[in-house]
Structure 1
Amino acid sequence: MNRPLAIAGLIAATFALSACSSSPTGRSQMLLYSQQDMSQLGAQSFDALKQQEKIYTDKKTNQYVQCVAQSITQKLTGPEAAEQWEVVVFDSDQVNAFALPGGKIGVYTGLLKVAKNQDQLATVIGHEVAHVIAQHSNERLSRTQMADIGLELSSLAISGTQYHGAAMAGLGLGVQYGVLMPYGRAQESESDIVGLRLMAEAGFDPNASIDLWKNMAKASGGNQPPELLSTHPSHDTRIDDLKAEIAKLPSYNAPRPQCRI
C-alpha cells in the first residue's frame, strides 16, 4: 500500500475508534492499538526493567506490597481481571510506582518511606492500576503515532531501537528513562478518581489518600517533586479534588485488608 493510502486509512481508523472509545470517566479517547498489543509491550518492558533494575528481595516487604496490590487487583473486572498480576519491588530511592498493561506492577522501596501504611500504599497502587484500566498507555502511544513520530508496534521488538524511549514514555515509564513525561494532567486526575474507587472497593480507607499526598508534598520539600508527581496536578488541587470525590463514594462492604510489614 502506498503512503497516502496508508495515512488515509489510519486517519479513518482513528476517527472510528475515537467515536466508540471512552475512558472510565466518560472522556473520549483515541486508541489505535489492541489489548493484545499493549499487553505484549507491557510484558516486554517489564522483563527489561527486571534485568536493568535491582530487585528488592526482603520477604516481608514483598509480602506486604503483594498483599496491597492483590487486594486491589482482585476487585477488577473486564480484561484486567483475567490477568495474573505480577508484583515486583525494586530497590531504589525513587518515590515511585507503576503498573503496565499485561498485569505488571512495580513498586520502588523509596515509595515505602512516604506511603506510611497499607491505605496510603493502596492509594498509589490503585492510581497506577487505574492508568491500565483507563488505557492511558494506549492513548499516549496513539497520540504519539498520530504526531508522526513514527512509532511502530507491529513487531513489539522495541528494546534498543529508536522507538524505545517513546514506547517507555507511553507506558508511563518516561521519568525513569529521561524521556517524554508519561501522562498528562487529565489522565492523572482521572487515575486519581478511578484509583480512589478501586482502593475503597477493596476495603482500604480512601481518606488515607489525603495523608499520602500531604506526605508527598513534604517529601518534595519545595524543591524538585518526587518522580510520581512529575506531571500531576498541584498538591492543593489534588487534595481538594480527592476530598470532593471521597464525599461521593458509596459505602463498600469489603472486609478490611490486613497488610503489614
Structure 2
Amino acid sequence: MKRSLLRTGLASTLVAGSVLMLSACETVQTTQGGAVGIDRKQHMAVSSQELDQAATKQYSELLAEQKKKGTLNTNAAQVTRVRAISDRLIAQTGVFRPDARNWKWEVNVLTSAEINAWCMPGGKIAVYTGLIEKLKVTDDELAAVIGHEIAHALREHARERASEQAVAGGLISIGSAILGVGDLGQQGAQYAYMGLIGLPNSRSHETEADRIGVELAARAGYDPRAAIALWQKMAQAAGGNAPPKLLSTHPSSQDRISDLTVYSQRVMPLYQQAKR
C-alpha cells in the first residue's frame, strides 16, 4: 500500500512537472513572413538573451583559437569579398526582423578544407575557405549560402531546437520514471522523438532558411536562382554519400532543389527591381 501511494505521488509530481515545462514555452513569431510567406509560429523555452550571450562568448573564443593557429582571415581578398556580400544581405534583414539591424554582426573567414559556413545567434558569421575554393562559388552562390545561414539566425532556429530538446528530454525522463521502463526504454523514447519530431523539425528549419535566404539574396541584388546551382554543386561534392532522407537533418538534394526552383522564381521580381 505504501509503495502504491509512493508511486501515485511520484506520478502526480512528475505530471505536474511536465505541465510546468510545457507552460513555460513561449509562443513567438520571430520573423515577419516576407514575400516567401514564412508564418510558422515557434515555441521557445530558452531565453534568447541567454543563447545570444553564449554564442558571443563561443564565437570570441573560436576566433582567438583560429588567430592563434594562423587560420583567421588569412586571405585579404576573400575576407573583403565575403564581408561585402554579407553587408548587402544584412542590410535586407529588416524585412524579416527590424531589430536585426541593431545586432552586433561579425563576419570572418576561417581557413579550413571543410565545405561549410554558419551564423550563430545574434549574427556571428563564419565562412570556410573550403566552401569558396572547392566549389568555386560565384558571388551569387556565396550570397545564397550566407543568406541561408543568416536566415537561421533570424528565425532563431538554434534557440528553437534547444527549447524543443529541453522540453522533450524532460518529458521523456518523466514518462520513463512513471512507467518504470529504465534506461533502455528511455533511450528508445529518445530515438522515437528524433525520428518523429526532432529530425523532421530540423529539416523544416533548413527549408525555411532556404526560402528566406533566396529572398535576402534577391533583395540584395543577387540572382536567387544561384541557390539551385549551389546545391547542385553541394550534391556533387557529397559524391552520393548523403545519409538517407529520413535519417538526415537536411532535406534531400532533390527536394531542396525542387523547392528552391519554386521560391527563387517567386522572388525574381525583387531581384529585377534591385538590379535596376
TM-score by length of structure 2 reads 0.71
Which aligned pairs between 1:106-255 and structure 2 lie closer than 5 A? 106-113=126-133, 114-148=135-169, 184-223=202-241, 231-249=249-267, 251-252=269-270, 253-255=273-275
Quick check: which has more Rg, 1 or 2? 2
How far does residue 243 in structure 1 lie from its aligned partner after superposition? 0.8
**Are residues 1:42 and 2:55 paired?**
yes
- Which one-letter code corresponds to 1:69 in the other structure? S
**Distance (whole Å) between structure 2 residues aligned to residue 197 and residue 76 of structure 1:** 10
Deviations 1:88-141 (A, max 9, x none): 101101100000112210000001021521100000000000001111011011
State the percentage of identical aligned residues: 34
- The 2-side partners of 1:137 and 1:79 are apart by 18
TM-fit CA distance, 1:34: 3.1
Question: Which residue among 95, 99, 118 is the counterpart of 1:79?
Answer: 99
Taking a change above 3 Å as real, the CA distance of residues 106 and 22 of structure 1, as seen in their structure-2 partners, is: closer
Supply the distance in 2 between the matched residues of 1:255 and 1:66 (Cα, whole angstroms).
20
When residues 45 and 115 of structure 1 are mapped into structure 2, their CA distance, relative to the original with a 3 A threshold, is: farther
1:11/1:223 CA distance change after superposition, 3 Å: closer
Q: CA deviation at 1:73?
A: 0.4
Q: Which runs of 5+ in 2 are unaligned?
A: 1-12, 172-197
The amino acid of 1:192's aligned partner reads D
CA 1:30–1:188 in 2, change beyond 3 Å: closer, same or farther?
same
Q: Does residue 1:27 correspond to 2:45, yes or no?
A: no
2:130 alignment partner AA:
G
Paired amino acid for 1:201:
R
**Which of residues 16, 19, 24 is equivalent to 1:13?**
24
Alpha-carbon distance in 1 for matches of 2:136, 2:203:
22
Counterpart CA distance in 1 for 2:222 and 2:268 is 13
Q: Residue 165 of structure 2: SS of its match in structure 1?
A: helix
Given residue 221 of structure 1, which amino acid in structure 2 is its aligned partner?
Answer: G
Q: Which runs of 5+ in 1 are unaligned?
A: 151-179, 257-261
Contact 1:128 1:195 survives alignment (8 Å): yes
Given that 1:115 and 1:121 are in contact with CA atoms closer than 8 Å, whether structure 2 keeps it comes out as: no
SS of alignment partner, residue 169 of structure 2: coil
Question: Aligned with 2:212: secondary structure?
Answer: helix
Contact 1:115 1:212 in 2 (8 A): no
> How far apart are 1:213 and its partner, in Å?
0.9
CA shift for structure 1 position 35: 3.0
> How much does 1:7 deviate?
5.5
**Number of matched pairs:** 217
Structure 1 vs Structure 2 CA RMSD? 2.5
Amino acid at match of 1:233: P
Deviation at 1:224, TM superposition (A): 5.1
| Alpha-carbon shift at residue 87 of structure 1 (Å) | 0.5
For the pair 1:95 / 2:118, whether they are aligned, the reply is: no
Distance 2:163 2:237 in 1: 34
Task: Show the counterpart of 2:74.
Answer: 57
**CA distance in structure 1 between the aligned counterparts of 2:269 and 2:40, rounded to whole angstroms:** 25
Between structures 1 and 2, the one with greater helix share? 2
Are the equivalent residues in 1 in contact too, given 2:18–2:170 (CA < 8 A)?
A: no
Report the CA distance shift for 1:59/1:122 in structure 2 as closer, same or farther (over 3 A): same
Question: Residues of 2 paired with 1:125 and 1:97: CA distance?
Answer: 7
